[in-house]
Every structure is written in structure tokens, then in C-alpha cells.
Structure 1
Amino acid sequence: MKKETIKGQGAVNNVHNHFNKNRYEQSIYQDDFEEDIAKTQVIEVYPKSIVNKVKSPDLSMAYSMNPYQGCEHGCAYCYARPTHEYWGYSAGVEFERVILAKKNAPELLEQFFKKRGYVPEPIMLSGNTDCYQPVERKLQITRKLLEVFLEYRHPVHILTKNALVIRDIDILKPLAEKNLVTVSLSIPTINEDLRRKLEPRTSSANNKLKAIETLTQNGIPVHIMVAPMIPGLNTMEILPITKAIAERGALAFGYTLVRLNDTVEPVFKDWVTEHYPDRASKVLNQIASMYGGKLGEKQVIKRQRGEGNIANMIHTTFKIARQKYFANRALPKTTTALFDGTKGEQLRLF
């Protein structure tokens, strides 16, 4: 019998944290648990640093930063879920409902800019969890970070699934005028029924498309991540999505193949079985066909390209889409030439 899902919930269970000796599991569908789990718990944390050196070849940035740990968006496929285990939480429900907010992030960013000998390079805002997830409406940590980027004239690249980014047009526009920002929106589907299940607390597909228009009209370069590609769920949307984003002004796009590493695997398996029981086996088998029979892959080349007919079909279709809709478009390169590490001090003299 199909379980009654909670609106806005992605994971089906709190999967076991493999760092914990004892195992505690509780389904989100138990009546006495539903009321509590539907609420998000925000915990303030105060790290000693906020900017991370990027070691992953999947990201082109030298640095990234994440003002939040955990993500309310609830995407069942999210590769960041296992990172919640390092904080003592589950990669399942708790990843979505226990959010750690780094409220001192703006101060830490300013300290980073003032380091002796610092050579500026673009910083990716997000990269792990979303900097514009719902809690940002209230806490505005991301907005404060953007104010620091503007103050120091430092380039920043934003990655988000949320149209909330247009709230900060007043900061993004002057950044763009100085060639200091690009915004990358993640749009894996424009099928709203699928979007509600796949990434339940992100912005609607229509609002994401409107955000592309708004950003473009304000001179802010927009890149789209059509990701991840999940065989049997959204691969048939490649051409419709790329056509839609091109029509609204996006300058470039990228994509990735879904991979279910570590504790992402049980979360996604439970999710696809719950929401698409009629095709769950087909979806999982097609994912496995891209990685030599496994659902995940950690070797860089293999995880980026995949293998087999399904992976080749995805790559070929995106190649056609690029030629058809993005042949004469390119994302401008941001500049580091305007950075001034003393800027904040100078402004505060007045």
C-alpha cells in the first residue's frame, strides 16, 4: 500500500549514519513523527573558516563556500547528503530538516579577503548545499555575503535551485556591471509534477524560468545546470529544457549524470520506489548501466562520462541541443582585476 507522503518532504526515511555505532531509524510516515519532522530545525554554528579550496574536478572554481549545511530543498539525488553525517545527522530526513546556519560567514569572508598575500580567484557560492534555500529568506546570510563581495570588488559565481536569487538584484546588478558575477540556476526538469516529487521545496519550474528572464533583463549573466540527468525520469526533457532556457536568455548550460554514491543510494532507492513504483526497477537499472552495474561512481572520468547506450544517448542529445540553441552564446569571464583587499577598511573611514 502506498504511503501518504508529507508535502515538501524528499527523503522517505532517516537512513543510518554509518559513523554512528548504534542504529536508530524512524519512518517519516509514522503519525506521531509527522508533525515534528515537517518542521525545520535551524541550528546556529560558528565555524573558524568559510572558504574552501576546491579539490573536486567537477567544479571549475578554485574556491567554494557554503553558508548552510543541510538543505531544505529535499532533492532525493543530492550528492551532498552524506556530508551531513560528519555533523552527526542522517543523510535522509535530517539532511532536509536539520539545517546548520553559519551566521558568522560574512565576517569570515572578509577575514579571508584580508589575508596577507591573498591572490583573488572566483569563489563559488554554494557547491555543496544551496545558498538560497528557504531559510535564507529569513536569515539573509547569502545576501550579506554578496554585500562583502561587492564591497571588495571580488568575483563570485552563484549556484542555486531557488528563484529567491532575484531578491538580491540590487546587489547582483552592480556586481554584473563590474563583471564580477554569474548566476547558475539548476533546472533538471520543467515537468512540474516531477519537480514537486524530485526537488519538493525548490522553486517551481515556471518561477525558475521567470528568474532567468529577470536576471537577463538586469544584465546578469545566467548559466543553467540541467542536472542531474536521471534515465527514465527526465532524460526525455533535454531538448525542451534547453529550448526553454535559451528563449529566456540563458547564455550557457552544463549537465551531469546522476550518481548515487554512499548514503545517497538508499535515499534515492526509497524515493523512487515510493513515488514511481511502476518504473523504479527500470530507472535503477538504467542508472547502473552507466556505471558498470553500480549505482554510483567515484572515479572522475567515469562519473563524468559514464558508459553504455544510455550515457551516450544523453551526451549526443546535449550536443544537438548546444548546436541548435546555444551555438553563438557564451558566458563572460569574470574579472579579478578590481579586487582591493583594503576596500572595506577604506569605506569604513567615512
Structure 2
Amino acid sequence: MSITESPASAERSAAAPPAAAPPGPRGFPRAAGLLAALLLVAAVVVLSLAIGARHLSPIDAWHGLVDEHSANYPVVRQMRLPRTLLGLLVGAALGVAGALMQALTRNPLADPGLLGINAGASAAVVTAISLLGITSLTGYVWFAFGGAAAVAVLLWSVGGGRTATPARLALAGTALNAALFAYVNAVQLLDTAALDRMRFWTVGSLAAARPRTVVEIAPFVAAGLLLTAALARPLNALALGDDAARGLGAHPTRVRAGAIVAVTLLCGAATAAAGPIVFVGLMVPHLVRPLTGPDLRWLLPYCAVLAPLMLLGADVLGRVLARPSELQVGIVTAVLGGAFFVGIVRRARRAGA
């Protein structure tokens, strides 16, 4: 169901059997496009396993992955594989959370990083590190969930709740984001021991990934993605307005609450594992919509595939640009995202002129 349909036509389409792999805008074959995106992700996974301080051929990377007697086994299996898997999980979480927030707030500039959700998770984790001495990811995750949930609820309340407008949500999110990151920086300056533990995490990085990291956050990301998939059709109905959504069998309050829970799960897990990585959730939905249209039943799966592609690609790029050292992935996405954000604003100004 397209969110641009009228309530009557939406009701008729909801009653009709779904067509198999319908074409997207301008006849774009969405199922074929999703398959092509998956193949690109597989290619970037190979690059992520092969490229680093020591470049490996695809064959050497394969032997390092499957042969424990290979000289490359410690590098590929114990370091690069967990980093790659974490990139896939974090990318999917951030991309889907960004699309979900843009649909929920009807704001094309909504992003977990820009609206303060990631900052709330970061502030909670920094507090846990500095005041409580927590150093394990298991401890980080629960604080990150609490911080992300608190900011999501506060953002919705300050933005006006049911009467919230995109402009009010953006202003409230910007204010919360600035205040929370000021708090994070203050804690780091006042606690040098905590600063040593937090300095790479707060930039946003996949470099510290370990097999246990992937195992610990995977259930939360999976739960968030499954909940988001269940919300795709009700959110499509909600885009028609609350009254039309009720007529189509959706419950607006429950849908919004479920969306907040899903964003909390996705952003909390991603931020706890990799730090506050920004702009992925903003860029990917904008790149996907020309291919899928606004239908969340296609938009969300595309974001779940293309966001890991972007995040892993940025991580590989950071390893190449600063050899033999590397740029943290959060720095690379911030540079790319900043330029993309400026492009969106300029395009909007031209459209309004």
C-alpha cells in the first residue's frame, strides 16, 4: 500500500491479494534491485575481510577464514570477521532506525544521530563508565537502551506529542543533541581515566569488535528489525492520517509506541557496540526512496541491506585512506554525511524558490 493512496483506495488494496514483486517508481524492478544490493554487500564483505594494515588476496582471506592453521587465521577469523559482522548489524540497525524515524515523524531530516537518540545512549554509557566503572558491553547495552528510550520519549513530549510537527521535533532534537554531547564531553574532560576508555568509542568505531560483541547485540538488533517489519503496513496506513489509519484497522497510539520501542532497540544496541555513528540513518532512506517509493514494505528491507553496504564501505575506506593506521568509521560517515546533508538542504531551497 502506497502512503499516497486515498483511504478508500488503500482499503481496496488492503483487501486485494498482493502482487508478486511489483515494480517501483518508473518501472524499477524492486525485487531484482534488492538482489543486486545483496550481491554488492557480499562484495564489500570480501573487501572488509581482505583489506587492512596488511592487504590479503581473496584466496588468502578465505584460507584465513576457514583454516585455523593458516598464518592469516588470527587476523581474518578473530579480528576482521567480527568487525565485518558488527558492521552488518550496526549498519542495518541505523539504516532501518533512520527510515522508521522519518516515517514516524514525517520529517525527511529525522535521524537517530540528529534527533538526539544516539546522544542519549552515549550519555548513559558514558555515565556508566565514569560513575559506575562498567567496562563490559553487556553493561553498556542496558544503559544505552535506557538513554535512547528516555530521549525518544522526551523528544516526543517536548516536540508536542500527537500535535508534533517536523520543525518542532527537529528543534527539540537539536537542542537535546547539543546538551547531551556537551555532557559527554564534560564527563570526559573531568575523568581522565574514563577518557582513555571512551575516546575511540565516542568517535564511532568498529575496530574493537570481538566475537562476543556480535553475539551480545545480535538478539537486540534482530528483535528491533522484526518489530519494524511488523510495523511497516500500519505505518503506511498512519501516513494517511490517524482517522484513515483507524479505518484500515491500525491503532495509531500502539503503532507509535511500537516504533519508539523498535528505534530504542536498534539505536541502543548499535550505539553500545560501536559508539554514536551519525548520518547513516539520514542518508540511506534518501538514497533508497527513488528506487522503492515511500512504501515501507520495500523501503525498510532496502535500508536493511544498503545501510550495511554504506557503513562497511566507509570502514574499508577509512582503512585505505590512512594506511598503515586507519580513520574511524564514525569520522568517515560524518564527512560523507555532512556533504550529503548540505546537498539535501540546497536542493530543498531550490525546490522552494
TM-score by length of 2: 0.26
Report the structure, 1 or 2, having the larger strand content: 1
Report the structure, 1 or 2, having the larger helix content: 2
Higher relative contact order (CA 8 A, sep 6+): 2
